[in-house]
Chain A
Amino acid sequence: MKAQRLFLSFLLGSLSTQTGLFTPARAESPDPTEAEYYKITTFPTPAGAAMEVGSVEFLPDGRVALGTRRGEVWIASNAQNATTPGVWNAQTLKFEADPAAPAKDSISYQRFAEGQHEILGLAYKDGWLYVTNRYEVLRMKDETGAGKATRFETVCDKWGVSGDYHEYSFGSRFDKNGDLWVVACLTGSFSSKTPFRGWAMRVKPDGTMVPTCSGLRSPGGIGFDADGEVYYTDNQGPWHGACTLQHLVPGSFQGHPGGNAWYSLAPNMGPRPVDPNDKSRMVIERERVKELVPPAIYMVYGPGKIGNSSTAVVCDLSAGKFGPFAKQIFIPDQSHSNISRVFLETVNGVKQGAVFPFLKGLRSGPIGARMGADGKFFVGGSDRGWGAKGGQPFAFERVDWTGKVPFEVHEMRAKADGFELTFTEAVDPVTASNPASYTAREFTYIYQEKYGSPEVDDVLPKIEKIDVAKDGKSVRLKFDVLTKGHIHELHLDGVRSAKGAPVLHPVAYYTLNEIPAK
């Protein structure tokens, strides 16, 4: 190995005058594929049901509760261990159970409740299943032991609903204080017809509702990081150049002023913030609107990038059972039928970090998702109302780590003059220290009322210096310019692992809200 490396550095030396030609390619390492590292099992779904999973929760006995867009709650048994995938039936447009499969390898379902109004939140506590529907949090329980919920208790119904399709409500699980969070979509893209549309609220254990953040547009999911901080995803549209992962800091304004009339009903939130200026930039408006918290991550929009429709926020708390990304956040995309991976850090008190592509090939449009402490990642969804690449009307799937570590950027941290990358395994120092292995670009979005934004204000930085750590596990990149508020797009097409493998997903998008002092 050592000899080979020496040989390569010799080769590099000989080519250094024409670095553009140096595109390392080692024929002995075929392109790795995602499936080598993460396996997707698409489960059969029950006959006669549309398993449009909107939320996933675990019960204490390990069974998995699924809340659906058609208002049903299903309890899945053996979901962790089932290995038999569903068999696609083009007539019924469903993945159907394989009757020949032994029960120990098969998932089974029981319908626990029905008739609810689009369940996009499930949380279990003390024998109750807490359900978020379009206009209330309720809790349900089976009081007879027959396996069907008999009691449906309203917990909180203090936010509005008008009949508009856009007014979805996503509910969290219980946070570290025992509160449950609700994020309520605006009425359409621009306005809020009824109280607290476009807000995040906390529901206290006694059912009281605390309006907590304003400025939401169209949430697609809500969840916690490893520290219990609360995040939601928002979707491209007015005041959102792209989909985002946003940190729900109590008291904050999240960027879309359409629901700000409801400050009148939320004295705890203080006075209404000044409205952002149209056709501006997030970094500029942060100076004007003191309550404005910038998106922690821009889930860069467009084909071949991160996604078009971010949904659930799933933190890996499996301590390695889901692979090398412990404590990172996984975000499915309903439109691209994929999952992206997010590394977050705090700089100057603001959350920011990098998003990486992670896994493609889900069969419908993922919405609800959850990972267990055992590293089993459940995801389900539907393509109803919006197309999904997966192509099927609904699906419930499990993603398992195969035990093989992919060669990936593990973490990407901002530094005063560039970035520090760590890798899941040692890099080849030759390729990793070669500037030609990288390309970088900095851009941002217009912060505007108009729907979406192109990528603007391009800066093409130079990578001035590269230091590869002795153990090969990290690489320090010095940029000639960092741009506050810009997304820093870094491609690592030329970087190889010490074993010669290319980076499985050789691109990162870092949202640089703050530049650290060191």
Chain B
Amino acid sequence: MNSLRPLLFSVFLAAAASAIVVPATAQGQDPIEITLKTLTAQMKFDLNDIVVSPGAKVRMTFENPDDMPHNVVFCNPGTDVVQLVMKMLETPEQAMKNNFLPEDPKVWLKSRLLNPHEKQVLEFTAPTTPGNYPYVCSFPGHAATMQGVLRILGEGPKLEELKFALYHGEWKQLPDFSKLTPHRTGDVPDNLVQLNFDDYKNQYGLVFTGKLQIPADGDYVFYAASDDGCRVIVGEERILNDDGMHPSTIKEGKKRFKKGMYPVRVEYFQSTGEAELYVGWRGEKFDTTALSKWTPPNWKKGVVQKVNEFVGMPLEPKEAPVIYRNFIAGAGNRSIGVGLPGGFNFAWSAETMNVALAWRGAFMDAARHWKNRGGGHQAPAGFDVVRPAELTPPLAVLDAPEAAWPSFVPDQPLEGYVWKGYDLDAKGLPTFHYTWKGVEVDDRLEAKGDFKSGGTLVRTLTLKGNIPAQAYLLLSQKGKLNASGKGFAVQGEKLSLVGTSYSNQLLIQAEGATAVGDKLLVPARKQIQITYAWPELHPANAASIAQ
């Protein structure tokens, strides 16, 4: 393809490419491996279209990661699978006894009824008659959405009476071969389009002509992949034109044809470098069929198509803060995610009455919770996630500053605290409210500046009422603390959320903050202001954290 590419390299690639031919033609012995899964909480299979050759040996792994039982039942072409299941349920006791697997002559293959999180391997020989074989989960109530089609497709007709004409020349695109005299012509004995003639390597053109039987009226898709350019003409129609110098990628062209024998013409040219040519076609009644000797990797791509892939649903704070009360990984089960315009985010826990996480960049991806049944914990979408003080209550009375900080136990009442809710100011920024030992506490976080340009997260706690003696606010625990300027550089405990690890480093500054062992404490008072900053924004302080 590329005339500047060193010759050695192109030789190596050509060899590598030819090796790929093997698996494409070796369908005889090894079973085809297919994995069919149920989708968690969606009442669907992950595949709804599977294509297999007639009589192929198949080893299908059927997995049920869902939380309810499922099976898979393969039926003959034309079966109304919903009807089949309804008919089975007309004798419910019998159906139950059979684990909701229909005893029906229309069924030719079925799995067990898999309990949640089970799997089963089904080894079978595919039907030899081409057709669409529907499959379904026959557990009551599932058939309407848990369906798919196993398509048994044989190969289509191949080219006949194929001839080649070889031309020499240096082109950057396909020439008008009709005005040129071929260097050599001849028959192609195996009727496969190919480049394996041994009297040329570079700077040549080839024109293949032959005949192709269109077996019935219908739509046909032709494929070609060539390095360099090619063109496919069927009858009078130019189906594909992939001219110019380029590496091979599969292109397709679709046309409707009437039944009959059609002339086929494939034009190709090679400049220098890699040389590849693939031509194939597919009909409604037959699978993709190669018309060339060489086939590119995944030339049957689409044989097994994934469906129902999740895409993200990012929540983006634009003008106003975005609030997301949901299961946020690392923030307990009652977290309130707050995304602020400007790229600062945090999760406030209505279990611990405390900031559980803070992070920069993107806020949250809601897809996990909003595209299925709504379970599971989702990690923040952004980066530099920090958890300054584990999941702990914020305020405590300590006999001595060295005493252990009370811990939070999920589902146990948090001694002395009552969650009161929050309100939103005119900008939509929340202030959280709770009481602690009769003291009314307001907790509010806002961004100062942008996260990309030295901004910080400023938190203000306001305490109203009689603050008990020896009451403290916990800023950090179980990390490494280094005094740094007016504040502390904190290397928090290792933080890993849903498989992603974070360095958990931040800078905390609050008037009166004192390091006591691995705790960073402030004596409780009427108002406490805390500034959180990420060390990257303060290179000098980052160095002290690294020690």
Contacts and interface: CB of A to CB of B under 8 A. Distances in A.
B322 A455 contact: no
Interface of B: 41-43, 67-69, 82, 85-86, 89, 92-97, 140-141, 144-145, 322-327, 333-334, 336, 350, 366, 370-377, 410-411, 419-426
A162 interface: yes
A454 interface: yes
Contacts of B376: 163, 165
Contacts of A148: 424
A153 B422 CA distance: 6
A150 interface: yes
A149 to B, nearest CB: 8
A199 to B, nearest CB: 14
Contact of B420 (A154, A162, A166, A301): A154
A154 B324 CA distance: 16
Given A115-B322, A133-B325, A385 B41 contact: yes
Contacts of B324: 71, 115
A164 B375 contact: yes
A118 B333 CA distance: 13
B93 A454 contact: yes
Contacts of A138: 421
Contacts of B373: 165-166, 384-386
A116 B325 contact: yes
B421 A135 contact: no
Interface in A226-241: none
B323 A114 contact: yes
Top 9 A-B residue pairs of the complex, sorted by shortest distance between their CB atoms: A165-B375, A115-B323, A385-B373, A454-B92, A387-B145, A454-B96, A165-B373, A117-B325, A154-B421
Contacts of A151: 421, 423-424
Interface of A: 50, 69-71, 114-118, 133, 135-136, 138, 143-144, 148-154, 157, 160-167, 188-189, 194-195, 301-304, 308-309, 335, 384-387, 389, 451-456
Contacts of B334: 135-136, 157, 161
A197 B546 CA distance: 46
A136 B366 CA distance: 21
A138 B411 CA distance: 19
What DSSP secondary structure best describes chain A's contact surface? loop
Contacts of A166: 67, 373, 375
Most buried by A among B95, B333, B376: B333
A160 B413 CA distance: 10
Contact of B67 (A153, A162, A163, A188): A188
Chain B interface secondary structure, helix, strand, loop or mixed?
loop
A126 B448 CA distance: 38
Contacts of A195: 411
Contacts of A162: 333
Contacts of B326: 71, 117
B371 A384 contact: yes
28 contacts: A50-B370, A69-B374, A70-B366, A115-B325, A115-B336, A117-B326, A118-B374, A136-B350, A138-B421, A152-B421, A152-B423, A154-B419, A154-B421, A163-B376, A163-B377, A165-B372, A188-B67, A195-B411, A301-B141, A302-B89, A303-B89, A384-B374, A385-B42, A386-B43, A389-B144, A454-B94, A455-B93, A456-B92
Nearest to B366: A70
Contacts of A114: 322-323
B215 to A, nearest CB: 34
Contacts of A164: 375
Contacts of B374: 69, 118, 165, 384-385
Given A303-B86, A385-B372, A455-B93, A152 B141 contact: no
B96 A135 contact: no
A116 B335 CA distance: 11
Which residue, B85, B86, B370, B426, has most C-beta atoms of chain A within 10 A? B370
Which of A188, A451, A454: most chain B CB closer than 10 A?
Answer: A454
A352 to B, nearest CB: 22
Given A163-B333, A188-B67, A195-B411, 7 more contacts: A136-B350, A151-B423, A152-B423, A189-B67, A304-B86, A455-B92, A456-B92
A309 B323 CA distance: 31
Contacts of A165: 41, 372-376
Contacts of A455: 92-93
B333 A161 contact: yes
Contacts of B421: 138, 151-154
A13 B94 CA distance: 41
B333 A135 contact: yes
Contacts of B377: 163
Nearest to B376: A163
A233 B96 CA distance: 24
Contact of B69 (A133, A188, A303, A451): A451
Contacts of B69: 451
Contacts of B375: 163-167
B158 to A, nearest CB: 40
A304 B336 CA distance: 43
Contacts of B42: 385
A138 B424 CA distance: 15
A114 B370 CA distance: 14
B368 to A, nearest CB: 10
A150 to B, nearest CB: 5
Given A114-B323, A163-B375, A385-B372, A335 B92 contact: no
